[in-house]
Structure 1
Amino acid sequence: MKKQSLIIDCDPGVDDAVGLFLAFGSPELDLLAVTAVGGNVPVSRTGRNARILRQIAGREDVPVFLGADRPLVREPAGAGEFHGAEGLGDLPPFEPPFPATPGHAAEAIVDIVMGRPEGSVALAMMGPLTNLALALRREPRLAARLGPVSVMGGARSEGGNITASAEFNIWADPDAAAEVFASDLSLTVFGLDATHQVRATDARIARIEAIDTPQAQAAASMMRFSQRVEREIVGWDAPPVHDPVTVAWFLKPDLFEVRTCRIEVETASDLTRGHTAVEFRGVDPATARHHWAVTADADGLFDLLAERVA
């Protein structure tokens, strides 16, 4: 089996946790690193949470690097109300025995990608894009060296989940997102248009709960927490599970329909900060760098998740 070399950049986060468990259990992936960024909660917690999840999955072979603790130019703004004060829902936090690997996440991304064959390393972005923007600043050749990049972020037809027009990951650091989208990277972007189709229904959560492994039990706990919070705050019975799509796309791309497009990010307006302008018109598929997910097969994704946490 030819494995896909992959770095995951994340801000765990309950849906990040589910995405990490999907990746940790997938033999098709050669996980080179997990890099943490401040987002849902501060980076001191997201880095610790990534190490907790790594331990639960028995994957201490995967190094964890800590990255940016704040956006490029703005004040940090978390989402603890949706993830719990510590970022992992109802899971009690603890300090894992295996520490983070020394070095900044942006440096790790540059070193790993530049040290391997061109196009061989892919990147899954589950949080704000700060670490990737910093990596591109450190090494301008990175865009030409990186393989495909999947991004959870943005919104078009669904509207936003943090403001009327902005999704949290892009809103949290719109300046970083604008730099990443303006680069020469090939990006496949999973905004709320797709991730709102991937919902943790009672039946889907119960299926994961019935699997007797630590990672399945932890993933189910995260989704139960999200279900409770979404009922209280939004009024939904089945919460969207956003971040696993960034990993699932590498494993089974046929679960998604994507369209070529051009994406720009609003940074100047307080009213529409972080809005993603997704333009399908006038885009040449032969040269398009951006791809926007329009549909997602939720049943197929949860089948995959159940298989990989078993």
Structure 2
Amino acid sequence: MIHPIICDCDPGHDDAIALILALSRKELDVKAVTTSAGNQTPDKTLNNALRILTLLNRSDIEVAAGAIKPLARELIIAPSVHGESGLDGPELPNPSFAASSLNGIELMAKTLRESPEPISLVPTGPLTNIALLLNTYPELHNKIKQIVLMGGAAGVGNWTPAAEFNIFVDPEAADIVFKSGLPIVMCGLDVTHQAQIMDEDIERIRAIQNPIAQCVAELLDFFMIYHRDPKWGFEGAPLHDPCTIAWLIKPELFEVQDCFVSIETKGEYTQGMTVVDRYLLTDKQPNAKVLFGLDRQGFVDLLVESLHAYTK
């Protein structure tokens, strides 16, 4: 069975690897790519999406720029993680094609409207574009199969003590998405911090004889620098965003629990926190499948296997 998806991203090293993974798989049909501000400024994230698709020779996929800032806040970016370009490390080609004349929300709506079957939305950045889509086109909710997102945490955050970066950047958008009533799969830090790529995994990828695998190895070389800070306690670098794609391809790699998730938009110390009712402490019905466990070796094997698909 082939799953049609729309990737909404803010590339970003792990977003780029998520795109590369998605486009390597026959099980997935990437219908469109939309970009948001987040890991870098909106002009850079759009350019990076176009550069990755140029690298993959996929100019057939329409790419559109979405919102340039969060719904109600000023933009926060993460150059300390992803560098000045947003994809520092490898030498990527300049875009060989232009972005769509539509904006990201219009492109998602058009793609949903024209699809004969429901489409999964896969946002791996702040949820601004998804919230705008849901509010602007309520008649298209039934064309959305599910929202498989990277964001949040049931435990500690990575941008503040309480909040994960994507949700912290636009908590109001996340609040709209989690209240939408649509099926949601939440790939939060609880699972993505288990998706660590070790030095030996990078060398395994580097040994694959194709330029896409070489690019991924170089992306990981740079991404590893930030995550070597001892404060994180990591052995490797966590590949957050590819967890969304891995879930779509091979959900048996994950441990999942149905939970009620709410978003803190006003807390002095907890703004952007995803409040996950893991122990059924409220009377709220679950609104998300929350991923908590991962077969790390299976995840790495999936990535390596998929990169071999680019060998001619």
Q: Shorter-chain TM-score category?
A: over 0.9
Instruction: Mark the CA change 1:301 to 1:283 in structure 2 (over 3 Å): closer, same or farther.
Output: farther
Secondary structure of residue in 2 paired with 1:8: strand
Instruction: Mark the CA change 1:283 to 1:111 in structure 2 (over 3 Å): closer, same or farther.
Output: farther
1:124 equivalent in structure 2: 122
Write the deviation string for residues 60-112 of structure 1: whole angstroms up to 9, x where unpaired: 22111111110001000000100011110213465312111111111111121
2:194 equivalent in structure 1: 197
Matched, 1:112 2:106: no
Amino acid at match of 1:39: G
Write the deviation string for residues 190-235 of structure 1: whole angstroms up to 9, x where unpaired: 1000000010101111111111212111111111111112124745
Instruction: Mark the CA change 1:145 to 1:24 in structure 2 (over 3 Å): closer, same or farther.
Output: same
Amino acid at match of 1:262: F
Amino acid at match of 2:87: L
Secondary structure of residue in 2 paired with 1:148: strand
In structure 1, what is the Cα distance between the partners aligned to 2:235 and 2:205?
A: 17
In structure 1, what is the Cα distance between the partners aligned to 2:307 and 2:54?
A: 14
1:133 equivalent in structure 2: 131
Are the aligned partners of 2:261 and 2:286 in contact in 1 as well (CA < 8 Å)? no
Are the aligned partners of 1:261 and 1:283 in contact in 2 as well (CA < 8 Å)? no
Give the structure-1-normalised TM-score.
0.94
Q: Any gaps of 5 or more consecutive residues in structure 2?
A: none
Of 282, 296, 299, 1:298 maps to: 296
Are the aligned partners of 2:196 and 2:235 in contact in 1 as well (CA < 8 Å)? no
Q: 1:58-77, aligned counterparts within 5 Å? A: 58-77=57-76
Q: 1:100-249, aligned counterparts within 5 Å? A: 100-117=99-116, 120-157=118-155, 159-232=156-229, 234=231, 236-249=234-247
Amino acid at match of 1:209: R
Secondary structure of residue in 1 paired with 2:32: strand
In structure 1, what is the Cα distance between the partners aligned to 2:37 and 2:267?
A: 23
In structure 2, what is the Cα distance between the partners aligned to 1:289 and 1:164?
A: 24
In structure 2, what is the Cα distance between the partners aligned to 1:47 and 1:288?
A: 34
Amino acid at match of 1:160: G
Are the aligned partners of 2:52 and 2:92 in contact in 1 as well (CA < 8 Å)? no
In structure 2, what is the Cα distance between the partners aligned to 1:215 and 1:9?
A: 21
Amino acid at match of 1:20: L
In structure 2, what is the Cα distance between the partners aligned to 1:222 and 1:300?
A: 21
Are the aligned partners of 2:54 and 2:94 in contact in 1 as well (CA < 8 Å)? no
Matched, 1:15 2:2: no
Are the aligned partners of 2:168 and 2:271 in contact in 1 as well (CA < 8 Å)? yes
Instruction: Mark the CA change 1:23 to 1:124 in structure 2 (over 3 Å): closer, same or farther.
Output: same
Are the aligned partners of 1:144 and 1:184 in contact in 2 as well (CA < 8 Å)? no
Shift of 1:284: 9.5
In structure 2, what is the Cα distance between the partners aligned to 1:75 and 1:92?
A: 31
Amino acid at match of 2:211: P
Amino acid at match of 2:298: G
Secondary structure of residue in 1 paired with 2:38: coil
Q: 1:10-89, aligned counterparts within 5 Å? A: 10-89=9-88
Amino acid at match of 1:256: F
Shift of 1:143: 2.7
Shift of 1:113: 1.2
Shift of 1:271: 1.4
Are the aligned partners of 1:154 and 1:276 in contact in 2 as well (CA < 8 Å)? yes
Are the aligned partners of 1:121 and 1:147 in contact in 2 as well (CA < 8 Å)? yes
Are the aligned partners of 2:6 and 2:33 in contact in 1 as well (CA < 8 Å)? yes
Q: How many residues align?
A: 306
Give the structure-2-normalised TM-score.
0.94
